[in-house]
Amino acid sequence: MADFRVAVFASHTGTNLQALHQASLGPDAAFHLSLVLSNNRGSGALAYAHTHAIPAAHMSGATHPDPDQLDTAVRVLLNAHHIDLIVTAGYMKKIGPKTLKSFDGRIINIHPSLLPRHGGRGMYGNTVHEAVLASGDHITGPSIHIVTAEYDEGPVIAQKELAVRPDDTVESLSARVLSAEHILLPAVVQDLALRAIGRHGSGGVARQRP
């Protein structure tokens, strides 16, 4: 089993969790999914984790009404599982300051636009794709960035560019971007794992073009 331990934070269906898990089962995988955390007790992400015997937990204001206690509990859980990297994938809650400090530079998020365009508070899901189409952008695609205290403002470490088609709808654009996320995110996590365990060069994941 790979030594690089990854936690995935997700609030809903967890399709990126599924893509990461499938990638982690490959013979050359350098990472292992060691924890799934959700703020939604009924999320598809938790159901997937339970079905596939991945350690999982529900933590939210329902379990820890005090935000400081929730932050502490999340950090304790992560340390108990010896997590090396946190991936937030459709996680609809800010990470607390104690966890951010403990895992500084080791939390990444996937966002469905080419940041810094169409990022920030309230920009998630179809809201992003609506903004892309309304702006007349010719290119879009997912970005992966380091998580900081502010929404979508951390350094971007990888992007995959996709052409916006003249006949695109929110639904068609969302589907293509999501498919690209399922390719880009496992590649980035694999790259980070390889570099962390000293089996890769110093270069990062390249920006990918159509």
Strands 139-140 and 107-111: unpaired
Q: 181: closest CA among 113, 134, 131?
A: 113
Binding site annotation covers 15? Answer: yes
Annotated binding residue 14:
yes
Residue 81 is a catalytic residue: no
Return the domain boundaries, the chain.
Answer: 4-196
- On whether 140 is known to bind a ligand per the annotation, the reply is no
Catalytic one among 111, 118, 129, 145? 111
Q: What is d(CA 185, CA 88) in angstroms, rounded to the nearest whole number?
A: 11
Q: What is the pLDDT of residues 112-154, one digit of tens each?
A: 999 999 999 999 999 999 999 999 999 999 999 999 999 999 9
Considering the four listed CATH numbers 3.40.50.170, 3.20.20.70, 3.30.70.3270, 1.10.340.30, the one that applies to the domain covering 4-196 is: 3.40.50.170
Assess contact for 180 and 197: CB atoms under 8 A: no
Overall pTM > 0.95: no
What tens digit of pLDDT does each residue of 152-197 get?
Answer: 999 999 999 999 999 999 999 999 999 999 999 999 999 999 999 8
- CA-to-CA dists, residue 166 to 93, 139, 172, 173, 180, angstroms: 34, 11, 11, 11, 19
Known binding residue 203? Answer is no
Q: The dihedral of CA 191, 194, 197, 203: what is its sign?
A: negative
